[in-house]
Amino acid sequence: MGCCEGEPPIHHSIIPTEELYRGFAGGLEWRHWSHGRLDVMEDTDKAAFDFRPGDHGQARLILKGRLDRDTTASIWRDSTQVVRQARIPRLVVQAGEVVYCDGAGVALLAEYKHIQREHGGQIEIQGLRPQFEQLMAVLEIDHLVAPPKPAGTITSFIRHAGFVLNLGQWTAGFVRSMGTETSFTGEVFAKLLKALTHPRGLRWKETLIIAEKAGANAVAITGLLGFLIGTILAFQTVAAMRQFGAEVFVADLVVIVLFRELGPLITAVLLTSRTGSAFAAELGTMKVNEEIDALTTMGLDPVQFLVLPRIIAVIGVIPLLTMFNMLMGLVGCGLVMVSWDIPGAIFMDRIRYAATLTDLFGGLAKTFVFGTLVAGIGCLRGLQTGVGPTAVGDSTTRAVVSGLIAIIVADGVFAVVYYFLGI
């Protein structure tokens, strides 16, 4: 069949007997076809849809062309009306022939989802191009996109072995994560050594500003926590030991616990929730705004430029904060002891007798490792920030959780090492 001059080309195809809803930018029509010919006008500058009911409560909605502001509006009412009236338990949207999609097209897909949910149905989007999936991820409806199905003869086995598949995916993700963290750790230590041999290459002004925020601005909350911990420890212990006339030894217990364990640990936990989360949020925001990509484009190393100043600043301030935390803990303990009619001179004498420099420096040695973990994990989670409105919040949460776990594990390792060293 020919076509008139100036008209769009006409293509012919044979389709089997079926009910077919076909919508173009100009309207909607319903036809019942026997074997015959269907003249279809193809125009990728317009939007079109085919709604094809199937068996077992499933239907296909085939989208074609451009889904932009103008063309999406032309098929919105007709396509949503068909989906709403059909009330199909499972709708499969085939978007493989969509050549362009912007926010209006994503809004149309979200409307299909809303319609299906109204009557308890399901929806799945197949064949959408990767660049459009990224747009859907930004607008938080990417979970509608069906993952690519594995090819080959084991497809059926994988589909029925969900546990094995999930375990494999988790294992692969864990291995990738460990590889990334190991590579990041090696890069950071290598550049720390380079900074020690070439200190002029470090941004010392920025390092001092970060140290002020992480250290000086945290003095008040650190002292308050130390005072409360010392007060609570002393009060809970003296009430029990007074029954045996041994309340004077409360000072021994509190000073050893503060020097060896709680002082460094409480300070590290505080810095994790305060400074580590701040590092993740700062670098995460820079990652979302593509500022880190801009640094790389200008030839600046993000680790050297952003990570090293933060790690050095935290390593420098955490021992000082820990000592202040210990001091305020002893002050709180002393007040409790005095309130229980134990002279201050005896309290000071018991502190000098019970604690040694080994206890003090053993606790302070932990802080350097804790500070490195807090700053390093916070920066790493920030650099790993993805896309989307919740990406920065997710990175901050991961930084705090990962930092706390790393601190507890490191503290356990120190306990074992100190035991075998006799410290």
Domain assignment of residue 158, yes or no: no
If asked whether residues 250 and 390 sit together in one domain, one would say yes
**What per-residue confidence (pLDDT) applies to 74?**
81
Domain assignment of residue 3, yes or no: no
How do strand 47-53 and strand 18-24 relate by DSSP bridges? antiparallel
Closest CA to 135 of 103, 94, 98: 103
Domain count, the chain: 2
Round to whole Å and give the CA distance between 242 and 249. 10
If asked whether residues 308 and 253 sit together in one domain, one would say yes
If asked whether residues 57 and 127 sit together in one domain, one would say yes
Say if CB 41 and CB 10 are below 8 A apart. Answer: yes
According to DSSP, residue 17 is labeled S
Beta strands per DSSP E along 268-419:
none
Domain assignment of residue 163, yes or no: no
Domain assignment of residue 404, yes or no: yes
If asked whether residues 17 and 138 sit together in one domain, one would say yes
**What per-residue confidence (pLDDT) applies to 12?**
37
Domain assignment of residue 180, yes or no: no
If asked whether residues 295 and 346 sit together in one domain, one would say yes
If asked whether residues 104 and 218 sit together in one domain, one would say no
The count of other CB atoms within 10 Å of the CB of residue 194 is: 14
Round to whole Å and give the CA distance between 317 and 216. 8
How do strand 36-41 and strand 18-24 relate by DSSP bridges? unpaired
How do strand 58-67 and strand 122-126 relate by DSSP bridges? unpaired
Print pLDDT tens along the chain (423 aa): 444 444 444 343 333 334 444 444 433 433 333 333 333 334 557 888 888 887 777 888 888 888 887 788 888 888 888 888 888 888 888 888 888 888 888 888 888 888 888 877 888 888 888 777 777 766 655 454 444 444 444 555 555 556 677 788 888 888 887 888 888 888 888 888 888 888 887 888 999 999 999 999 999 999 999 999 999 999 888 888 888 878 888 889 999 999 999 999 999 999 999 999 999 999 999 988 889 889 888 888 888 889 999 999 999 999 999 999 999 999 999 999 888 888 888 889 989 888 889 999 999 999 999 999 999 999 999 998 888 778 899 999 999 999 999 999 999 999 999 999 888
**Which of 147, 165, 198 is where one domain is finished?**
147
Domain containing residue 58: 10-147
Domain assignment of residue 155, yes or no: no
If asked whether residues 273 and 414 sit together in one domain, one would say yes
**Which of 97, 127, 147 is where one domain is finished?**
147
- Alpha carbons within 13 angstroms on the beta-carbon side of residue 293 total 7
Domain assignment of residue 171, yes or no: no
Say if CB 389 and CB 290 are below 8 A apart. Answer: no
If asked whether residues 271 and 387 sit together in one domain, one would say yes
pTM greater than 0.75: no
CATH number, position 126: 3.30.750.24
